[in-house]
Every structure is written in structure tokens, then in C-alpha cells.
Amino acid sequence: MKRRDFIGITGLATGALFLPSLPGMGGVLVDPEQLLETIDPALKKRLADAALNAAKSAGASYADVRIGRYLNQYVFTREKQVQNITSTESFGVGVRALVNGAWGFASTNLVTEAGIVQAAKNAVAIAKANQRVQKEPVKLAAQKGYGEVSWKTPIERNAFEVPVKEKVDLLLAANAKALDNGASYVNSALFQVNEQKYFASTDGSYIDQDVHRIWPTFNVTVIDRATGKFRSRDAMASPMGLGYEYLTPRASDKLMGPQGTGVIGYKQRYDMLEDAALAAKQAKEKLTAKSVTPGKYDLVLDPSHLGLTIHESVGHPTELDRVLGYEANYAGTSFATLDWKAKGQPYGSKLVNIVADKLQPGTLGAVGYDDEGVKTKKWDIIKDGKLVNYQKIRDQAHVMGQQESDGCCYADSWSSVQFQRMPNISLRPGSAKLSVDEMIKNVDKGIYIAGEGSYSIDQQRYNFQFGGKVFYAIEKGKIAGMIEDVAYQANTQEFWGSCAAICDQSDYRFLGTFFDGKGQPGQVSAVSHGSSTTRFNGVNVINTARKI
């Protein structure tokens, strides 16, 4: 998370009434004990059947209903103080109806039989009204019904069952570690999410899902009082589709970065205290780090950094609605059009194999079924450097000549209509055994980058610029010290075409986001990106501190 975003969120923590205005963070304030309550699936089935029957009686050829209970808890601290603890619940129903090839959608927070029946009737009425402006009828891929099924994130410890004091103690202990190691200021936060989603459709599916996600984070700032210069470093933790066990350190889930960097990577467990202490040391080191000399460098990109580049330069450009021009919000459409794909142009080097995967355990995008009742799966997006597929939902499958959806339809709330959203998009690890230190031995002039930084990308998801958290010069196969003011520039094909080496499975990790924005009105979704440390040759690096 960038410092300005972190400050914005933690600033809002002082006024919990602002939370409903943030996508994905809405709901009414509740007692933390209410977060442990559940709803009988039999009741949800009766309500869903009432909605489906009402929609069919009103003229729908297809209908689905989503009964959603979205639970959130946020804990915010700064230095030795607790800033705020907020628990919220959002509960309601969304109904979608297809009438004569046109969609209609309506929602309600009146979760009664009368309320849900009225929402179904409203959805059908809206679909009938939409027929007047519908240019082409919706072609919905067939989907078998699964009957009554359920899926739950395979967590070991429910974060909502953990006493708030234990969470506060952890954050304050992380703050103390940062302060003890030279931090001038430190903010920390813990985000916990539980989506209890019930989906039913006229296809015959009744799907009950219990989805958990967690995100510990902080931002450390060190100030040189003599000069007024300051530098920051935020957490290397990725949000994950795990329970509170993520915050119990485990040696087997810790990876040391290249010799000479001190960087530590984490897999399915995260050591917040260790990372906070290291963040303070690295922020202090940044104050005296040499500014980068612009030029061409071989880049060695850690998974904690590369995930964002994957997200922006592969994830979004291969969303089929962007490709078709249906979606242009949040940085435009896509260069990777159907015509572009048909030409067989390389997306990257032959080492580049990128997959979409809604099944990976511990990831943010992992669910059993999407919000159209489609069972989730894994499929290739880029194979041996060539674009071979896109991300599609039920009403898009026919565009690619497919008979079924890819299972990547999602809505961020019961009150939002579901649409195509990015699944986990990940770079396959290298097949040959290769460690990060072995990779660096072959780099004569390069830069190792870990963590996310500021970035920009054009309206076609083609030309871009990325920064990072920490940077280390590589000279003649060895780390030569920390540097600063680094950003690299490239276009998507040029960048992925320069991919020269990928570390093996042992280095594979995830980077994720809770707040992937798309659509208008805007929605957010949570998604992870897996990769191993990867080398890109001859990439243009600029100095972000240089004045013109």
C-alpha cells in the first residue's frame, strides 16, 4: 500500500461513519459478537425459492438470487495508541432476471419473503424496460445445476473468533519493534473480511459459501531531523485468503532474499514483528542510499513487486469486456484485441506462461463457485509467450466460441450486479532449479526490486512505469548496496519479451489486493498474483528524483 493511501484509510479510522462511502468497506456498525452469528441455509433456500418463483411468474426465462452477508472488522493503531476498532455488517439480497434477452437487476436490504419477492418483480420489470434499448439479445452459456452444495475457505483459525485484545496487542507490538529500530512514526492496521454468500438460480443450484480474507499492514517512516528528509517503507505482507493463522510465523514459510539485501519474503505465514523491525532499518537506510543512474538494466523482480506488474499488464488487458470495449473505466480498454490475438504476435518470451486460477489455496480469488453458480477452475492465458485465452463469464463465452463460462463473475455486494472480474492471474515458476542468488550471479549490471511502489499505465494497458519499495544495485553478479529513486518504463510486449529467467517453485509466492477497482458505478474485488523471482533483461530505468 502506498503511504498516501494508508494515511487516507487510517485517517478515516478516526471517523467510522465514513466507512460506508468506501467500496468494499461498507455496512452498519455492529457489536463484534454479531460477526459470529450465522443464518440457517434452509431459511436462505426458502427465501431464494420465493424470489426465483416470483421472477419466473413475472416472465423471466432465467433468474438468480444472491443473499449476502458481508462482515468486516478493522483495527487501526499508531505508535502506542489504538486509533479505532470498527466492526460492520452489510446484509441484503440481489436478484438478476433475464427476459427476452435483456438483463434486469434489483436489490433490497429487506430480507423477508415480501421484500425479496418485490425485488424479483422489480428485476423483471427493469429487464422488460431494458429490451427497448438492447441491441443484441444476451446469449447465456448453459450451466448445469449443482443442487444444494457448500464451500468454505479452508482456514485454521477464524479471525472473527480471535479476541480484539490479541489483535491490538499484535499491532502495538509491531509498532514497538519499528520504534525500537529507529522509526519516527508508524501506523498499523488489520483488515478482516468474511463474505457469507448464498446463490440460487433457476438452473437448480443452491450454493452456500463462507469466504474469509485477512490483511495485516503497516507503514513506517524515519525522519532525519537535521535535514528534514524522510523515507518510508510499508509492510511486505500480502492480503491472503486465510484465517488468523496467517499471523502465526512459521519458519518453512519464510524466504530470505538475495544475500546482502536483508529482504525477507513470506508464503502462507507472516511474521509482522520481524517485518516491522526490518522496515524501520530499511527506511533509515534509504535516507543515505545512492540515487540511481538512469539507463538500461537487467531487473530481478521479487514476487512482492512483480505481482502488481502482472495485475496491470496481463490481468486487466485480458479481461474480455475490456477487449471488446464494454469496459473502459479505470484505465481504459486493452491493446490485446481479438484481431491482435488472431495475428499470433508474441505477448512475451517463450518462458512466459501465465494462468488464471480460482482454485489456489490461500489466495484472495479462491472460491468454490462464482456469482453465476459456475464451478471455478484453472486455465491458460499465455502459453509459451503467446496469448491463448481471455477471462470470460456466461454471457461472453459465445464470443470466443466456448460452450461454458470460465467462472470469474463476481459482485462486491448484494446490492451490486455481478460482472466479469479478474481471477487470480499468475506467472508459472521456472521448471529448472534456480535460486535468487544463482539468478543474480549471472547479472552484470542490474537492479533487484522488492515491494510495490507508485505506477502508471496508459489507456490500452500497454505503456507503463513501475516503482517499488526497496531497490538494490547488482554489479558483476553481486548485490552492491541499496539505491533509491528507481522506476522502470516499458511497454507490455517489450517487457514480457525481455523475460530471461524464472526461479523455481520453491520461491513461489503471492501478492494481492483487496481493492481491485472496476466498473461504473465502481466495484472492488480481491485478487492474488503468484510468481517466483524473475529476471528481465535490458529494461529502461529512470531516476524519479531528477529535476528537469
Average pLDDT along the chain, 548 residues, taken 10 residues at a time: 34 33 66 92 98 98 98 98 97 98 98 98 98 94 97 98 98 98 98 98 98 98 96 97 98 97 98 98 98 98 98 98 88 93 97 98 98 98 98 97 97 97 98 98 98 95 97 98 98 98 98 94 96 98 90
Spatial distance between the Cα atoms of 523 and 471, rounded to a whole number of angstroms: 33
Q: What's residue 416's pLDDT?
A: 97
Report the candidate in 200, 182, 226, 59 with the shortest Cα–Cα distance to residue 128: 59
Residue 327: what pLDDT?
Answer: 86
Asked if residues 215 and 239 have their Cβ atoms less than 8 Å apart, the reply is yes
Q: Find out whether 423 and 391 touch, Cβ atoms under 8 Å.
A: yes
pLDDT in the model for residue 2 = 38
Cis peptide before 423 (omega within 30 of 0): no
| Residue 449: per-residue pLDDT | 98
- Please give the single-letter amino acid code of residue 543: N
The strand ranges marked E within 318-444 are 354-357, 378-383, 386-387, 409-410, 419-420, 424-427
| pLDDT of amino acid 5 | 37
Per-residue pLDDT, 11:
36
Closest CA to 471 of 548, 546, 542: 542
- State the pLDDT at residue 27: 87
The reported pTM is 0.94
Residues in contact with 336: Cβ distance below 8 Å, sequence separation at least 6, in sequence order = 317, 318, 323, 347, 387, 461
Name residues whose C-beta falls within 8 Å of residue 298's C-beta, 6 or more positions apart in sequence. Answer: 443, 444, 445, 446, 447, 474, 500, 535, 536, 537, 538, 539
Return the SS3 of 438.
Answer: helix
